Amino acid sequence: MFELLSEPIRRYVREQHWDGLRPIQSASIQKVMQSEDNLILASRTASGKTEAAFLPILSRVDFSEAGVQVLYISPLIALINDQFFRVEELCKHLDVPVTKWHGEASQTLKNRLVKDPRGVVLITPESIEAMLVNSEYKAKGLFSNLKFIVIDEIHAFLGTDRGKQLQSLIFRLRQLNKGNVRVIGLSATIGSFDQAKDMAGPENTTKILLDPNGKEIETDFKYFEQGNLSELPLALIKDLYLNVCNNKVLVFPNARGTAEEVAVKLHRLSEKVGGHPHYYSHHSCVNKEWREYIEEFAKNNERFPFTIACTSTLELGIDIGSVDKVVQINATHSIAGLIQRIGRSGRRNNETSKLSLYATDPWNLLQGLACMTLFKREKFVEPIEYTEKPYDILLHQALALIRQFSECTQDELIHKLSVNAAFKHITVDEIKEIVQHLQQTDMLEFIGGKLIIGVEGEKITNSKDFFSVFQTETYFRVQVQDKPIGEIPLTHFTTVDQNILLAAKIWKIIDIDIPAKKITVIPAMDGKKPVFAGSGSGEVHPRIRREMLKLLIEDNVEMPPLSDDAKEAIRQLRLEFEYYKIEDFEVDRPLKVQVKEMFWYSFQGTRINSTLSFLFKAAGIDHEWWDVESKFRFATGNFELIVQQAMKVYDDLDSHLVKKVLNDPTELSFSKFGHHLPFKYQVLLVKDKRYDFAGAMDFLSTVNISQVNVLPQP
DNA sequence: GACCTGCTGCGGCTTG
């Protein structure tokens, strides 16, 4: 395939002294050079996907033409800054200019590009939106002669509101171009590629190039019971310290507060025993400059071991070099996330990836095991959940289109929305109803036969917050003297004289300036982890819960290596379930009946559990539920009857939903623009995005109860 | 009892 590349690019490849082209690179070179297809390149992290896309693109495109030829879209500014150096290095051989275009990029360089639009541009979806909305002429000058759009980390967009917006933006960009614009998506291995194909273009124009080879994964599972403690057990911290102190390690504790706790405690232990000082925390609330310093340290340092306690900020493709080992504290909610995290270790060739999982309760241990066994046995990764009718994103795009074109007739607007591939499942009548509602609520105004932005619409579209479709909370800046160290939400725990952990250090709050949203701190000796108010929407797929049941019931199940304590925790949990007759893991479910209450284990995914709870509540059945255990508590009674009553709710589902959405405004809190929709569509959005009624009903109609009566000991 | 992501244009200021 090497011969297909242009001479300057071949020279570049020779200068790199690579052993040869990777499989994904060869496949991509052939398809980019010899077909007109859109492509999805899927392979594990650090397998050279960026080069796989850019080597043939740079070989094929004629950069002497006016206008930007290649648009690279990334979900993160940090990734753009990272990739800029690699792409620029490639482009040097061709004298092709590369420009960063995002909110923090140089205005001067952007202006220079507008005057002489050429080469490659690296951009975020929000910056594309801003440009189309505020200055369409600029977008036309820059992007009306595009040949390729490259979407990096496309899996980060799939199934999300931001992904729908991006799909619509790609459609709007294609409308500026007369010629064909090819889309190339770069992806980690994911469960299904239909959504990725859908984003790239019309059906049958997109080919998937998949390199399924992963690295060997070495795991060990440990168990340290936390019980009712609000902190991690001391024994866990001590064991963890011995595990990490001589290695380069990422620790993922699933929460920002716990990341701080881990970083501070390891650091303190290390100080006591005379170990190294390189213990850091890295998450969204740590000051950006400090985060960049940590990333640089990890990337450039060869000699020193280090440990970074982090959240999903270090899960995506930012290059932090080689890590020896990954530690996960308690289970991830998805297999996709687990594999992505594990993939950060052993990045040099031929090294295996290493994972230690520390569980602090038996159900988390079981869920972690289930994720691992499912992946190892079947290579199972969750399919991508998506909304067929994203009415809220359509509303946002309707306002954006009116801003983009200043004015248009109602028919023009409806047409622009209905032909947009992002909204292909929403009918013309539905679009019409939403557009008319926007006029009734002064979001749009009808003047001289044309629609323009109305008084209420101005308030929304004039804010710089308009360009993104996701919500954000307000945080208070935390600073010591005048140096910023990060930010935290203001909760009732945040008071003067309180001590908090942030950026792997302990601080005492000495002042809170509410109007300025500023908290001043000084160093302290001791403190509690900060409280971040979580919204709690991590969803576990039903397949994982079914695997958990299987691990509890089946004899001679194959398990990865477990510590003695972990073995014992699993043994105890299996004992609790040994008397249930479970043969079909899809439908047989345990019911434990006691004198006053009974417990039903659904072993279902989070979304179905939450839908079941909705149905029980609507049927007037008192209950409580816990997702990790997928356990429901009822008063002792006839369970068959409970199932029947819950299923009956479905006959009159819409009126129950209407009641729920009317009485509980938080039902729609997942959507930034949803409350501007006609009420009917707010209900439909809640029905589709929050719940899975089809799945829940299917489960209730087939579930088979295995009952065990537990009587009090005499 | 999750996590993460991004941001125009303009006026007026300081600094090299």
- Write the pLDDT tens digit of every residue in A550-600: 999 998 888 899 999 999 999 999 999 999 999 999 999 999 999 999 999
Give the distance, in angstroms, between residue A656 CA and nucleotide B1 C1'. 27
Q: Is the CB of A134 under 7 A from strand B?
A: yes
Tell which strand B nucleotides have any atom below 7 Å from a protein Cβ.
Answer: 1-9
Question: For the range A553-557, what are the long-range contacts, defined as Cβ-Cβ under 8 Å and sequence gap of 24 or more?
Answer: A553/A577, A553/A580, A553/A582, A553/A585, A557/A373
8 Å CB contact between A268 and A234: no
The two three-digit tokens of residue A232, written as one number: 């991690």
C1’ B6 / CA A389, Å: 24
Q: Which nucleotide is nearest to A471 (CA to C1')?
A: B5
Residues 10-39 of chain A: which lie with beta carbon within 7 Å of strand B? Answer: none
Q: Taking CA A707 as the corner, what is the angle to CA A702 and CA A708, rounded to the nearest 5 degrees? A: 160
Please state the φ and ψ torsions of residue A326, each to the nearest 5 degrees.
-120, 135
Structure tokens at A562: 């477990």
- Nearest-CA neighbor of A395 among A419, A430, A421? A430
A132 touches strand B (CB under 7 A): no
Mean pLDDT throughout A368-372?
A: 96
pLDDT of residue A347: 61
Rounded mean pLDDT, A66-92 = 93
Taking the CA of residue A81 and the C1' sugar atom of nucleotide B13, their distance in angstroms comes to: 29
Mean pLDDT of A19-28: 94
Mean pLDDT of A215-230: 91
pLDDT in the model for residue A68: 97
CA–CA dist A6, A182 (Å, integer): 19
Least confident of A148-157, A391-400, A472-481: A472-481
pLDDT value for A533: 58
B3 C1' closest Cα residue? A312
Query: Residue A649's pLDDT is what?
Result: 97
Q: Tokens representing A537?
A: 């929407």
Max Cα distance, chain A (Å): 90
Å: A472 CA to B2 C1': 14
A215 is near strand B: CB distance < 7 Å: no
Residue A534 pLDDT more than 90? Answer: no
For chain A, give the mean pLDDT. Answer: 92
Q: What is the pTM (predicted TM-score) of this model?
A: 0.94
CB atoms within 10 A of CB A528: 16
- Band (pLDDT 50/70/90 cuts) for residue A301 is confident
Residues found in chain A:
714
pLDDT level of residue A535 (50, 70, 90 thresholds): very low
The C1' atom of B5 and the CA atom of A161 lie apart, in whole Å, by 11
Length A337 CA → B3 C1' (Å): 11
- Indicate yes or no: strand B within 7 A of the C-beta of A158: no
Give nearest nucleotide to A257 (CA–C1'): B2
Where is average pLDDT lowest: A7-21, A25-39, A102-116, A522-536? A522-536
Nucleotide of closest approach to A254 (CA, C1'): B2
Mean pLDDT of A406-423: 96
Q: What is the DSSP string of A631-696?
A: EEEEESS-HHHHHHHHHHHGGGHHHHHHHHHHH-GGGGTT-SSGGGS-HHHHHHHHHHHT--HHHH
Q: Assess whether A537 (CB) lies less than 7 A from strand B.
A: yes
The reply to whether A535 has its C-beta less than 7 Å from any atom of strand B is: yes
Nearest to A293 by CA among A489, A87, A504: A504
